[in-house]
Amino acid sequence: MKPEPFLYRATCELLGADGSNYFGNDSVVMVGDSEKCDRDGPAAEGIQGYLLNHRGGRDFTNLTDFADHVLIYNECQGEPK
């Protein structure tokens, strides 16, 4: 169970994804509303975790904002959408 490190590693292996890439084609990130399980847990394994903070602040407030961030990042990096 989250935030056990095995969970994040096993998920990446099953997906054939690389947790160390940012938003590349074969990368994975964790998005959720728990600092401990969805942001800090994956970070301990080298996977980028993002917090959905519905109250605002410096974090993303919803998945649409996060998706927009990914699209903009990929456009700047030349990654396919």
Distant-in-sequence, close-in-space partners of 64: CB < 8 Å, separation ≥ 6: none
Pairwise CA distance, residues 81 & 72, whole Å: 10
What's the predicted TM-score (pTM) here? Answer: 0.70
- Name which of 4-8, 24-28, 63-67 the model is least confident about: 24-28
Indicate the average pLDDT of the chain. Answer: 82
pLDDT for 54 equals 80
User: Is residue 81 situated within a structural domain?
Assistant: no
Residue % of the chain over a pLDDT of 70? 86
Q: Dump pLDDT digits (tens) for 15-27.
A: 888 777 666 667 7
What's the number of domains the chain is made of? Answer: 1
Query: What's the gap between Cα 6 and its chain centre?
Result: 16
* Mean local confidence (pLDDT), 55-74: 85
Q: How many CA atoms lie within 13 A of 24 on its CB side?
A: 10
Q: Which domain holds residue 57?
A: 5-76
